[in-house]
Amino acid sequence: MTAISQQDMCQARCRLIDSMKSKCLEARWSLQPRDEVTADSSPVETWAQTNDNVVNQPMSKPSMSKTTSALLVLLLLIAKSSIVTAGPWEDGYAAYQRKDYTLAVEKWRVVAQTGKAEAQSLLGLMYFFGQGVKQDYPQAITWLRLAAAQGEAKAMYKLGAMHENGQGFTQDNVRAAIWYTMAAKQGHPQANDALKLVSAGLSPKDSALASRLAQTCIKRAYKDCESVFSP
């Protein structure tokens, strides 16, 4: 079992890149006619086209206006500024990539305390695996529950696994099935398979109970789910 998955890290990195591209695209739209960015162009394509212009178009080319030249310089400055002034979420990702887990926890905690579900989920996983902090299942559960209450699928899946494996909880396949059901509802790619496996060991009565309790929690928008878990 790995700690924070490479997929999670790649997603965090992509969000940083997307944020930078979005800032650059907004600047471009505000400084040039809208018809220069076609309806079919994605922000990624627009950014790539802009970079191609910087590299490939000679400054002396007649079609390169002073306004366009200035705009391209501005976009590059914005991109550089976005990297330099990255916030704690991106700083945490960078620290994790450097294997500076203590700093990653410090940065992600700042974001988690603002209520960001993804950061709460990551912080919970750091406590679960003992990366950057002493392994602490109760702390992991606290942060994972906060994230799950906002519909974070990864947190729901991890809570299900912890119930199934008796990590921080008394081993309980009914509660595991409840969390797996909700994680599957939220689109977690492994939740359905995990649910099938754990449900295979449940009686029809317990399986029906898990389904009913999961649906009750879903109707409550995942808020205070533990209060309805009374198998």
Q: Are 231 and 173 in contact (CB under 8 A)?
A: no
Average of pLDDT values for 172-183? 97
Span 42-72, pLDDT tens digits: 322 322 333 344 334 444 444 555 555 555 5
List phi, psi (to 5°) of 106.
-60, -45
SS3 content of the chain, % helix, strand, coil (to 5): 70, 0, 30
Task: Please list, residue by residue across 113-126, b when 16 or more beta carbons sit within 10 angstroms of its beta carbon and e when fewer do.
Answer: eeebbbbbbbbbbb
Share of the chain above pLDDT 90, in %: 59
Domain boundary assignment for the chain: 6-84, 149-228
Span 127-176, pLDDT tens digits: 999 999 999 999 999 999 999 999 999 999 999 999 999 999 999 999 99
Alpha-carbon torsion (133, 135, 136, 137), positive or negative = positive
And the tokens for 77? 């400055």
Which of these, 148, 205, 203, lies nearest to 181 by C-alpha position?
A: 148
